[in-house]
Amino acid sequence: MCVKMYEIVKAEKLTPDVTRLEIAAPKIARKAKAGQFIMLTVDEHGERIPLTMADFSAEKGTITIAALEIGKTTRQLGTLKAGDSLFSLVGPLGLSTHLEEFGTVVCVGGGIGLALMYPVVRALKEAGNRIVSIIGAKNKDLLMYEDEITAVSDEMFVCTDDGSKGHHGFVSDALQKLIDEKRKIDLVYAVGPIIMMKVIANLTRPYNIHTVVSLNPIMVDGTGMCGSCRVIIDGETKFGCVDGPEFDGHKVDFENLTARNKRYLAEEETSLRIFQGAK
Amino acid sequence: MAEEKKKSRIVPKKYPMPEQDPKERVRNFNEVPIGQDKETAILEAKRCLQCKPGPNREICKDGCPVEIDIPAFIKELQEGNLEGAMSIIREKQNLPAVCGRVCPYENQCEGLCIVGKKNEPVGIGRLERFLADWERNEQMHGKIETPPSTGKKVAVVGGGPAGLTVAGDLARLGHKVTVFEALQYSGGVLVYGIPEFRLPKEIVRAEVDFIKKTGVEIKNDFVVGKLDTVDDLLEEYDAVFVGTGAGLPNWTNLEGENLNGILSANEFLTRVNLMKAFRFPDYDTPIRVGKTVVTLGGGNVAMDCARTALRLGAGESIILYRRSDAELPARREEVNHAREEGVKFEMLAAPLKYIGDDCGNVKQIEAIRMKLGEPDDSGRRRPIRIEGSNFIVDCQTVLVAIGQSPNPLVPMTTPDLKTTKWGTIAVDAKGRTSKKGVFAGGDISTGAATVILAMGDGKRAAKAMHSYLMDDPSWPAPEAFEKGAC
């Protein structure tokens, strides 16, 4: 096998369960746009998994990903150090975030979604929008990208489920409050766990606030060939990899997405058990 | 009289190809045909009459899309000159071990074989396979001569059968060729689509390595259209060949198709072949098949799916096809292999909808019986529903193998590349597209076909590209492509 050079230039833990990797990929870094993702394979026996880019820099020639360590592949990513390299890295894939001057955009992110949200917030800000960010996590130790997102936001709300920082409650509470205050909201952008995106979409629907969500279906090739990532949008089948990953949140069939993402739970547990046993 | 005499000496049947026993092979992913030994191959070669083509007579080599001089290589083999035989194949053929396995010989070379008129034709496919395997196993590639450089640079988009053929042919003419392949392994459908038991991936890798030795550079993990576009490539390369294939799965668009357990053939085969899910958990990519697996479709891909399902442990593997046995588009050999292995054929039946359980998993297909009517545009008799004949098939996995459409990424990102109403790239007889310097071939311009037809297409395009690069840079006006593919 030929040697691949997708070298990790920086590896760090953002929280005990989230690893951030900065990877040398000059070509991808030059072409990447906010909202796009990459597919990576850790080693020759590895699975191809999609990860939305948390950052990219044409100057440095690197892209950054953040992975929540829940399965074998993401835990393996957590063991990588600077100097290690990936077996395969493909990108940038998917459509980028639609950017224009909407007016006021409320960006809502939760958990690992915060890492993915950062380049989108930055791009929306650069496009001339007023940004209100609402970020949330279970507790203050699991909050990520707070400083980065603050730097590109005009207004910032922090929520924690346990009240250890900011508002005690969910990001949806904070959004509801803004709506109740009759704030002018031209667009809501939400990225995080499926349940969070579903709650946000349901919340904005009666107010007719256009809401964009970034979906995370299971993918295999990530280039439109297999349809593993198909999602139902307004009753129609779309491919998450080439038609997405961002869709109109009011049109997404979240129940179907939730069910489809459980397809390989048993196998995922087997892989993880063997991996942890070996460690 | 002389010919009469010769005929009487003909061994009527092909020398048998040893195969793994069906009972044994459905439990493994090893290749089904084991291959012939040298003595048998020479005996088989001696069944050849060395026919000369006549004005009104087509012979074997007229049926070969890549123009191998079949009588010439067989003659060398008859005389035991393996190296000589192989070098004749190599003159035209970039992927001999692949074609010796997956070509539909019965419709091509062997279909025109004169011996085959009254007996079984000479086993040309298995002779090619034998020689290619001998060359690879004995490391008899010989010295690869590097031709003088023309100074021209060519980009090939897609490392499948068409692209690899173009790359191999142009490298041999002295052009500097770079292949851009989206996946981590090269070979396109040869690595993601065709199963291990029909085409071992080690063999594809060896063939690709050989092409690399001729000076071709392959950039994997490179999605043209997402990284560089075709326009970007034209700034650096003198010509571009687009061979991005038909990778887009077709769906039935019936109610319930997004239930869990319903996969496109592409997803199923990609997981198993490219990602090696059949070796899970040694390999990380999972695959799951239920007790009963239903495959929709009747082509080679459908046969591959149904046979793979058995090897993954399915208790029952059923092919649901809307026409009858005679219309099955799959190669006869694949159909026979599938039957031997226990695949069941539910003919003249079409799905109506998928029925799921409470957790969103498919549990049944509702189908309907069909009868055959008048022939349609394809010449095959059109299937017609028999109203009221609905029936239910219990199943936990459904594989949708009803064809693939052209990959839209390159046309989408190359605005002045004209496409047809089928989504294929419009080309002329030389493989030229509406964009100067850009050629296309294989499934992206013909629609889903076979490996060898894509290679034949690549061969024609390579000739035209060589002529474009060296002598005649003229190009048809874009309007010539308005009416669609030629």
144-173 in chain B: CB under 8 A from chain A: none
A257, A7, A14: which is closest to A144 by C-alpha?
A14
- Nearby residues of B192 by Cβ (< 8 Å), 6 or more positions away: A221, A225, B183, B266, B269, B270, B273, B274
Q: Give the containing element (helix H, strand E) for B295.
A: strand B292-296
Domains B153-247+407-481 and B250-404 share a fold: yes
Query: In terms of residues, how long is chain B?
Result: 486
pLDDT, tens digit (0-9, with 9 covering 90-100), for A232-245: 999 999 999 999 99
pLDDT, tens digit (0-9, with 9 covering 90-100), for B32-71: 999 999 999 999 999 999 998 888 889 999 999 889 999 9
A221 and B223 within 8 Å at the Cβ level: the answer is no
User: Distance between CA atoms of B164 and B212, rounded to whole angstroms?
Assistant: 10
Homologous superfamily in CATH for domain B250-404:
FAD/NAD(P)-binding domain (3.50.50.60)
Tell me the CA distances in angstroms from B277 to A90, A240, B28, B196, one per residue in order: 20, 22, 13, 12
**CATH 3.40.50.300 is held by the domain B153-247+407-481:** no
User: Distance between CA atoms of B193 and B160, rounded to whole angstroms?
Assistant: 11
When pLDDT is averaged across residues B106-119 and rounded to a whole number, the result is 91
Query: Six-digit token pair at A87?
Result: 């077996």
Dihedral of the alpha carbons of B464, B468, B474, B476, in degrees to the nearest 10: 30
Residues of B in contact with A260 (CB under 8 A): 258, 260, 360
Q: Give the containing element (helix H, strand E) for B222.
A: none
User: Distance between CA atoms of A138 and A144, rounded to whole angstroms?
Assistant: 11
User: Distance between CA atoms of B12 and B47, rounded to whole angstroms?
Assistant: 9
Sign of the dihedral defined by the CA atoms of residues B27, B28, B29, B33, in that order: negative
Choose the closest CB to B258 out of A242, A256, A264.
A256
pLDDT, tens digit (0-9, with 9 covering 90-100), for A82-130: 999 999 999 999 999 999 999 999 999 999 999 999 999 999 999 999 9
A196, A70, A211, A215: which is closest to A136 by C-alpha?
A196
Place of tokens 């490996």: B451
Helix (H, G, I), strand (E, B) or coil at B147: coil
Tell me, what's the pLDDT at B8?
A: 56
B286 and A271 within 8 Å at the Cβ level: the answer is yes
Query: The domain A104-260 is classified under which CATH number: 3.40.50.620, 3.40.50.80, 3.90.79.10, 3.20.20.300?
Result: 3.40.50.80
Query: With 0-12 CB in 10 A as exposed, 13-18 as middle and 19+ as buried, what is B84?
Result: middle
Chain B residue with CA closest to A261: the answer is: B260
Query: The domain A8-93 is classified under which CATH number: 3.70.10.10, 2.40.30.10, 1.10.1520.10, 3.40.190.10?
Result: 2.40.30.10
Chain A residue with CA closest to B283: the answer is: A45
Report the share of chain B in percent with pLDDT over 90.
Answer: 83
Query: Six-digit token pair at B182?
Result: 């989206």
Residue B257 contacts A where some CB pair is shorter than 8 Å: yes
B122, B128, B131: which is closest to B47 by C-alpha?
B122
ipTM of the shown complex: 0.94
A267 and B288 within 8 Å at the Cβ level: the answer is yes
Tell me the CA distances in angstroms from B208 to A17, B33, B97, B136, B443, one per residue in order: 41, 22, 11, 12, 20
Where along chain B do its domains lie? 2-137, 153-247+407-481, 250-404
395-414 in chain B: CB under 8 A from chain A: 407-409
The CATH number given to B2-137 is 1.10.1060.10
Look up the pTM and report it.
0.93
Where along chain A do its domains lie? 8-93, 104-260
- Nearby residues of B144 by Cβ (< 8 Å), 6 or more positions away: B213, B214
Residues of B in contact with A274 (CB under 8 A): 281
**pLDDT tens, residue order, chain A (279 aa):** 344 479 999 999 999 999 999 999 999 999 999 999 999 999 999 999 999 999 999 999 999 999 999 999 999 999 999 999 999 999 999 999 999 999 999 999 999 999 999 999 999 999 999 999 999 999 999 999 999 999 999 999 999 999 999 999 999 999 999 999 999 999 999 999 999 999 999 999 999 999 999 999 999 999 999 999 999 999 999 999 999 999 999 999 999 999 999 999 999 999 999 998 876
B283 and A45 within 8 Å at the Cβ level: the answer is yes
Query: In terms of residues, how long is chain A?
Result: 279
CA distance A26 to chain B (A): 11
